[in-house]
A and B are shown apart, each in its own frame.
Chain A
Amino acid sequence: MLQQHTPNPAELVEPDRVHKAVYTDPQLFDLEMERIHERVWIYCGHETQVKKPGDYYTVQVGRQPMIMVRDAGGRVNVLYNRCPHRGSMICGDVHGNTGEAFRCSYHAWTFHHDGKLKTIPMMEAGYAGTNWTRDNPDCNMKQAARVENYRGFVFASLAADGPGLLEFLGPSKIAFDDICDRAPEGEVEVVPNCFRVIQNSNWKIFLENQLDALHPSVTHQSTGRAAHEVEKMIEKRTGKAPLAYHMLSAFATVTIDKWDNFQTLNYPHGHCILTGYMGLRPQDPDTLAYEKTLTKAYGAKRMEEILSTNIHHVLIYPGLSLQSPLQQLRAVRPLGLNRTLTEIWHFRLKGAPEPIYRRSLAYYNLVNSPSTMVNADDLENFWKIQVGLSGDGGDWVSFARHYGRDIENNGVVETAAGMGTSEAPMRNQMKAWAQYMTAGN
């Protein structure tokens, strides 16, 4: 009989390289779901996706179909999307409002918004003498082991033990502070539209690319150059081109040799930050009006602090990328070994002037929509990587760029000056991966 062995994760990760099996082995994928995605804190959604009692949104956590729902008391709960009776999903739609109770479409069992059993048709007659009683927790829809909400962003962990959300986030919580603090009212509101794009590649390839400062001017050069040409044409004609062109032309104007000037910050649990490379604070009337609103809300000193926060985006391992200065969010849902869904949202800064929202929207439409002129070439690369790795042309993937030159301080790894293209984020992610995968061995 053919015997299948799960490769030992500890042997697959070396300080500056990883074995290709971490991207191509189906048994490792199942183990990842068990030991990473179904244990650690996974982003479920923003609380403004479910404003009213009964509002729900379905979400995949690891391999588990879950429901995020607002209850009558205002609490956001996360439940397994499964009827305890015969296992049917309770919510078949992506989102909606369930009214006062969930109701199974198979045999009309109903449940409160916290998953507790409400009614079973003819319960007394049907279940007399069985252990299916109202106080039996097996009659309830199961809740996620832990749910926490940080500044409106709801996370669930399917494991009862482990660090709390804030401890898990560590310094990467700045992603949520930055996006919320940029709002004069200190809160954001989701724009109710989710673009969903499937990557034909392993989930880790996207996460690695998010912090890869060496690729933009190579992968995205066609868009950068095209946008730069039109930007110059518009400037010649009208003196000034909209900021949206700058968001795209930066891929051409920031040439490959300049990317070392930026920095990545790498934290425990695999989280990382890429610092900003786009000038997003032009001294135009819109920005000045926004600064005025922020000053009114926070005072001049704090306004300056908020707008000086230098982030391009923050990766919260293993499944969330938040681009706080442009209010973009991408959640990563592994669908299979070489199939990954990204859910792409953007937010309004409460109390900020409309033109600031328009910037976020322009980025959402141009870079993150299904007609993206940017991610299209990333997706092509991801697929090529997945296919390339599936062959026997080599066993290892190299993360050796600037290896040994990073600066480590209290568990935080910063790339050294002039070494922003260091593959430190990939090394950091794989270090976390190995820790998760070998825990409990």
Chain B
Amino acid sequence: MAKKALKKKALPAKAANGHDTQHAVEQFLFRQAEVLDGKRWQDYIDLFSDDGVYWMPASPEQTTWDGTPAIFAEDKNLMTVRMKRVQHPDAWSQRPLWGTNHIVGNVMIEKTAPNGDLVVRSRFHMMELRRDATRHFAGSYLHHLKKTPGGYRIRLQRVDMVNAQAPYDYVLQVWV
């Protein structure tokens, strides 16, 4: 009898058809895009768990950020350096007007752990305006998300840009 009650209680109000998780993850990724486009750098860093890593591999066949050439391979400390540098009044290259617009889509949950941690794949397209020049960066995100009481936190954000190996006209100064 008690066992039966417990079982009933464990069922969520809505059927566990994955839609709730899909919705929550999409909201998380959309919020991440808003934070980046809003230049809210500390809010972006706060989306990462304490051991979190932002990684943009130099090439798609790379399997680890550790010990390989990377466009970005940053823990929270290095991300903080980047934030402080971008915000510094004498970061000359950061003074001209620039802005970005991220679109995130094709969100697929690849793996769900019993504790609610997720592996999520998505695609992005980022358009950037710097002074009078427009650039486009596009590719896929792989997020390893940790479920915490305060919401998802990023353990690893892997960013595979289609144009990672193309020549850069100027460089990248913040996370894509």
CB distance from A207 to the nearest CB of B (A): 19
Chain B residues within 8 Å of A234, by CB:
77
Binds A, one of B14-22, B84-92, B100-108, B144-152: B84-92
Interface residues in A198-220 by Cβ distance below 8 A to B read: 198, 200, 219
Kindly state whether residue B73 has any CB partner on chain A within 8 Å. Answer: yes
Taken together as a complex, chains A and B put the C-alpha atoms of A80 and B72 apart, in Å, by 36
Taken together as a complex, chains A and B put the C-alpha atoms of A366 and B167 apart, in Å, by 17
Taken together as a complex, chains A and B put the C-alpha atoms of A380 and B92 apart, in Å, by 7
Q: Contact: B81 with A379, CB < 8 Å?
A: no
Interface residues in B34-80 by Cβ distance below 8 A to A read: 56, 58-59, 67-73, 77-78, 80
Kindly state whether residue A195 has any CB partner on chain B within 8 Å. Answer: yes
Chain B residues within 8 Å of A198, by CB:
167-170
Chain A residues within 8 Å of B2, by CB:
none
Chain B residues within 8 Å of A293, by CB:
none
CB distance from A165 to the nearest CB of B (A): 28
Kindly state whether residue A196 has any CB partner on chain B within 8 Å. Answer: yes
A-B contact count (CB 8 A): 108
Q: Contact: A200 with B93, CB < 8 Å?
A: no
Main secondary structure of the interface of A (DSSP, over half): helix
Chain A residues within 8 Å of B168, by CB:
195-198, 370
Interface residues in A324-376 by Cβ distance below 8 A to B read: 341, 346, 354, 357-358, 361, 364-366, 369-373, 375-376
Known contacts A226-B88, A380-B93; is A361 also within 8 Å of B69 by CB? yes
Known contacts A198-B170, A376-B93, A376-B173; is A370 also within 8 Å of B85 by CB? no
Contact indicator per residue, chain A 180-204, by CB within 8 Å of chain B (1) or not (0): 0000000000010101111010000
Q: Output the nearest chain B residue to A357 by Cβ-Cβ distance.
A: B67
Q: Contact: A365 with B81, CB < 8 Å?
A: no
Kindly state whether residue A223 has any CB partner on chain B within 8 Å. Answer: yes
Chain A residues within 8 Å of B70, by CB:
365, 369
Kindly state whether residue B172 has any CB partner on chain A within 8 Å. Answer: yes
Kindly state whether residue B82 has any CB partner on chain A within 8 Å. Answer: yes
Chain A residues within 8 Å of B89, by CB:
222
Chain B residues within 8 Å of A361, by CB:
67-69
Q: Contact: B88 with A222, CB < 8 Å?
A: yes
Kindly state whether residue A230 has any CB partner on chain B within 8 Å. Answer: yes
Q: Contact: B93 with A369, CB < 8 Å?
A: no
CB distance from A388 to the nearest CB of B (A): 14
Interface hub of A226, A357, A361 (most chain B Cβ within 10 A): A226
Kindly state whether residue B171 has any CB partner on chain A within 8 Å. Answer: yes
Interface residues in A231-275 by Cβ distance below 8 A to B read: 233-234, 244-245, 248
Interface residues in A29-82 by Cβ distance below 8 A to B read: none
Chain A residues within 8 Å of B69, by CB:
191, 193, 195, 346, 361, 364-365, 369
Contact of B85 among A197, A223, A233 (CB under 8 A): A223
Taken together as a complex, chains A and B put the C-alpha atoms of A312 and B33 apart, in Å, by 40
Kindly state whether residue A408 has any CB partner on chain B within 8 Å. Answer: no
Chain A residues within 8 Å of B81, by CB:
223, 226-227, 230, 245, 248, 373
Known contacts A222-B85, A234-B77, A361-B67; is A371 also within 8 Å of B92 by CB? no
Q: List 18 A-B contacts (CB under 8 A).
A: A193-B59, A198-B169, A221-B88, A221-B90, A222-B88, A222-B89, A223-B85, A227-B85, A230-B84, A244-B78, A361-B69, A365-B69, A369-B70, A369-B72, A370-B71, A376-B170, A376-B173, A379-B171
Instruction: Give the A-binding residues of B (Cβ under 8 A).
Output: 56, 58-59, 67-73, 77-78, 80-86, 88-94, 165-173
Interchain residue pairs A-B with the least CB separation, the first 9:
A226-B84, A222-B88, A380-B93, A222-B91, A226-B85, A196-B167, A193-B69, A370-B168, A198-B169
